[in-house]
Structure 1
Amino acid sequence: MTEQDFISKTSSKHIESGSVTWDSPSNIALVKYWGKKENQIPANPSISFTLSGCKTTTTVSFSKKESYQEYAFDVFLDGDLKESFKPKIETFFNRINNYLPFLKNYYFKIDTVNTFPHSSGIASSASGMSALALCLMSIEKMLNPDITEEYFNKKSSFLARLGSGSACRSIEGDLVVWGLHNKIKDSSDLFGIKYPYKVHENFKNYQDAILLVDKGEKQVSSSVGHGLMHNHPFAEQRFEQAHHNLSSLIDVLKVGDLEAFINIVESEALTLHAMMMTSMPYFILMKPNTLEIINKIWAFRKETGSKICFTLDAGANVHVLYPEVECEQVVEFIKNELVAHCQNGQYICDQIGFGAKKIV
């Protein structure tokens, strides 16, 4: 599909007002995307686990307005009006206006709630922007009822990408690929797709404990970080590495090779942060406790033979990934050894999920 396929047809249907609610999860990339081209196109493909418990619930209430010259909306987080969110939403509306021409016809009240701390490194932009995109697509479906489920999901992912790149991986689950890759059928830079190949039982119900090392605002935003890849001395090698790792992961997921999975996932996490440390200007988002946790995970794996591993997003928090059969053992390890390195002892136990859900 091309961008032209997502331009809406004119609707003869008129709706004065309404409301829609969606739950949309966060996701954690196994092969990372870092660096993007114009219009939120990724510089390399990525693949992610969709999460279950870490999600955003967004309700969009809309009512017809008289003037169609400008956007009209308010954003609420946990019931509080957030004027600081408006510039980002306006930028998003400007990017998607060609694809949803009704945006200036209505006043929108956007109510959003997260199950996790905002700016905690659990990709709130992914769950938040995907939930908003899904709500807006539901409004389009009210105006154009013939829209199919397949088109709905693809266009929702396409729109979410224009709000936050990783948001396009939160529409479906449990594994989602975003970015053109020559070995993955129907992969696209424009939207995420459900991983189309066999996945071994070893990876079913995979667990993700998110250790909240630092719940504060990141010192460098992901958008700025992505931009620093444009002149990065190691950018091309990194993009080649991501393609290679994703190719390797196809066989790993098929045969259930947990050792190879660990090697790819941890290497990807550390490479992501290596790109940050070697950009200009350079920056470090890990904290001392991030490194303490990583070293303890390595020691625990060596001592016990566990298949536990870690990954990181562009922040200090650590995602601890492990097979479901190791739940009891790993949770004990987290409580006894890792909680001490979390801010206020906080962590979230989550697992693979299966995408967004319409609530109302």
Structure 2
Amino acid sequence: MTDKILVTCECAPNIALIKYWGKLNEELIIPLNGSISITLDRDVLSSKTSLILLKTNNRNIQITLNNKTQVFNEGDLSKNSNDIINKKRFFTMLNKVRQNCILSDPFEYEIKIKSSNNFPTACGLASSASGFAALAHCLSKAYGYKGDVSELARLGSGSACRSCFGGFVKWTTGENSFDSLASRLFPSNHWEEMNIIALILEDGKKSVSSTHGMKESVQTSDLLKERVKIVENERLLNMENFVREKNFDEFARLVVQDSNTFHAVCLDTYPPLFYMNDKSKEIVKFVHEYNNLDSSLKLAYSFDAGPNCFLFVLDQHLNELLFLLRNIYFRNFDLKDKVVSNNLSKKENFINGLSYESIDSERRVDLENLVKKFESDEKQSTIKYFIHSKVGSEPLIYETNDLENSLFDSEY
């Protein structure tokens, strides 16, 4: 019998290239269609979670999220506005682990959990994926769970199953909980030239949650049924092949098309869901104007259920993109003040690595002409800030009872 078990895990959020929207099973969060994503760099964006099991007479559960603490009793499923976690989903995960683990006395521990993000919680990057993935890894490691950790994370938040892995990740749909799993397609170093830039246009809470929006789309959108067929029959396989071959032109085209059809489904929903706004449409126009300078695509955009944009660009075109962003959207600002990153060394390396002088004179004329098309004082308020990331690696799990790297104090 162990008196104390401590586990800490760090996971990064992920960005869907082929999106899932709608569930076959609401309770088990089984998606209508599979999806493919990129895991971000956890040194730039991550959720860190520490879980401790204590052998005491107390059976309460204490959860602290970004310095806000909540204590509730075993099996308490009551809902209130102050909840910092979906208790029903939490207990679904916890009970699944307890029923299939190596601990002889899994119900005999007090549970304390601390979790925090190294990025602003209102930055437009959903922390539920990285947060529930980190929680799933902690529960799995602490209890010695015998099942699949991605299934466990999915029961907390659908997209969390993809954050259980680094690199490029695929989540398959299925008929039951045991076969709707995520798995790594390609490691983080498969396409090292890939960059992901998140443009934060709005950082407020969206008016319609993804969970509610999905339900509305499933009930009312005929277009959703067609999108599911296309994704399952064509897009998943095509995306996997484009990433395998590092074919950016086809990759970018498919990322953009899937984002567009997802938002077309949102508009086909009754009443319609307006996740993108005028600023979002401005970025769409900018990306297409930039791509029109060449015969092949150099930049791709994707919008999740919100107004903020995720851009994908290879190393060889990163300087051009930053040149355009600086001169159109950040003309009156120092660019380094608009890059958000908790890892200062990565931020400095990124900024110092920019070399606009590498853009030849003829190309520079084309870019400056593009700047003139968009240049106006209004553009200066379009983008609040941006986040730069490379493709991220696997979650980091610290050794059991490693207090130094945990979020708990020395009292434990």
- TM-score (norm. length: structure 1): 0.82
Aligned match for 2:289, one of 299, 312, 321: 299
Structure 2 distance, partners of 1:74, 1:109, is 5
Change (3 A) 1:324 1:168: same
Q: For 1:348, give the aligned amino acid.
A: I
Deviations along 1:144-180, whole A, 9 cap, x unmatched? 7xx6xxx6xxx22111000000000011120110014
Change (3 A) 1:55 1:89: farther
- 340-349 or 46-55, which deviates more: 340-349
Structure 1 distance, partners of 2:380, 2:170, is 32
Matched, 1:277 2:267: yes
1:134, distance to aligned residue in structure 2 (A)? 0.7
Structure 2 distance, partners of 1:86, 1:80, is 8
Matched, 1:76 2:69: no
Matched, 1:46 2:35: yes
Map of 1:2-81 to 2, 5 A cutoff?
14-38=1-25, 39-52=28-41, 53-66=44-57, 72-81=60-69
Q: Which residue of 2 aligns with 1:5?
A: none
Q: For 1:168, give the aligned amino acid.
A: C
Q: Report if the CA contact (8 A) 1:62-1:108 is conserved.
A: yes
1:94, distance to aligned residue in structure 2 (A)? 2.8
Q: Which runs of 5+ in 2 are unaligned?
A: 72-81, 100-104, 331-378, 403-412
Q: Report if the CA contact (8 A) 1:51-1:350 is conserved.
A: yes
1:123, distance to aligned residue in structure 2 (A)? 2.3
Change (3 A) 1:344 1:337: closer
Change (3 A) 1:118 1:85: farther
Q: Which residue of 1 aligns with 2:127?
A: 124
- What SS class does the counterpart of residue 325 from structure 1 fall into? helix
Q: For 1:22, give the aligned amino acid.
A: C
- 237-246 or 338-347, which deviates more: 338-347
Q: CA RMSD of the aligned region, Å?
A: 2.6
Q: For 1:108, give the aligned amino acid.
A: I
Matched, 1:313 2:304: yes
Aligned match for 2:211, one of 205, 209, 223: 223
1:49, distance to aligned residue in structure 2 (A)? 0.6
Number of aligned residue pairs: give it: 326
Deviations along 1:212-255, whole A, 9 cap, x unmatched? 11111111111112212322222220101212111222332233
Structure 2 distance, partners of 1:64, 1:341, is 56
Q: Report if the CA contact (8 A) 2:200-2:309 is conserved.
A: yes
Q: Report if the CA contact (8 A) 1:21-1:60 is conserved.
A: yes
Q: For 2:112, give the aligned amino acid.
A: K
Structure 2 distance, partners of 1:26, 1:355, is 11
Structure 1 distance, partners of 2:160, 2:314, is 25
1:274, distance to aligned residue in structure 2 (A)? 1.5
Change (3 A) 1:96 1:234: farther
Aligned match for 1:347, one of 377, 386, 395: 386
Deviations along 1:252-298, whole A, 9 cap, x unmatched? 22333222111110011111112112112322011211111111111
Aligned match for 1:115, one of 118, 136, 144: 118
Q: Report if the CA contact (8 A) 1:176-1:193 is conserved.
A: yes
Q: Which runs of 5+ in 1 are unaligned?
A: 1-13, 182-187
1:34, distance to aligned residue in structure 2 (A)? 0.4
Percentage of matched positions with identical amino acids: 26
- TM-score (norm. length: structure 2): 0.72
- What SS class does the counterpart of residue 105 from structure 1 fall into? coil
Deviations along 1:61-82, whole A, 9 cap, x unmatched? 23134366xxx32222332326
1:325, distance to aligned residue in structure 2 (A)? 2.4
